Chain A
């Protein structure tokens, strides 16, 4: 079990669907992250929120829309995705600068 909870664990969606991935942490961490991971590849940074404000967007396509409703929650809204967006989406949090990230176990997304 991890201290970062991601739901759902698996998601299958069509290219015209709208869905959301959810992430929750109750460790009081100030920063939350979305990473995308393809098979046999390292996690790729997508977004970072610091104190509920978007601090980093790694030129992610607008069909991915992050949201941080409060300090414990992070969402990733998905719309009009492509099959190549199929991947493991990982959420992480960290307490302070230069501290380890705590990861959830990810949402396995398949776009059909």
Chain B
């Protein structure tokens, strides 16, 4: 029967704490990476992006780290708020086909007030 992949990885954090969401990407030829936030009943919303010539980029309350050696991406959210509760997806843009944007499996973030 179908059992693999039915459950999204879940991260629960206390309000005010920092959150770290991890993502392993698949293609070493990818050179542009994006984090999206998807709330229930809505489409994914852009949070922050990073190109492969960088290893860190900061936004407002969010930081993305890129480790190309191990093909790993992380999203750090500072002072997590209840409004941050959502599913977070990393996505990679393939260098060989710039319009091909592929999403990772996603992590469900739940903020405990």
A and B interact physically: yes
A residues less than 8 Å from B113 (CB atoms): none
Chain B residue contacts of A101, Cβ below 8 A: 34, 44, 46, 91, 101
Residue A106 at the chain B interface, CB threshold 8 Å = yes
CB distance from B16 to the nearest CB of A (A): 28
Q: Quote the shortest CB–CB distance from A74 to chain B (angstroms).
A: 14
Number of chain B interface residues as a range: 20 to 34
Closest Cβ neighbor of A39 among chain B residues: B6
Q: How many residues of A sit at the interface, in one of the four size bands?
A: 20 to 34
B45 near A98 (CB under 8 angstroms)? no
Does A75 have its Cβ within 8 Å of any Cβ on chain B?
no
**At the interface with chain B, which of A14-22, A40-48, A64-72?**
A40-48
In the assembled complex, A7 has its CB within 8 A of some CB on chain B: no
Q: Which of B65-73, B74-82, B102-110 contacts A (4 or more CB under 8 A)?
A: B102-110
What residues of chain B have their CB less than 8 Å away from a CB belonging to chain A?
A: 5-8, 31-32, 34, 36, 41-46, 49, 51, 89, 91, 93, 97-106
Task: Identify 12 residue pairs between A and B in the complex whose beta-carbon atoms are under 8 Å apart, listed by A's number.
Answer: A43-B44, A43-B89, A44-B103, A45-B100, A90-B44, A92-B43, A98-B32, A100-B34, A100-B49, A101-B44, A102-B46, A103-B45
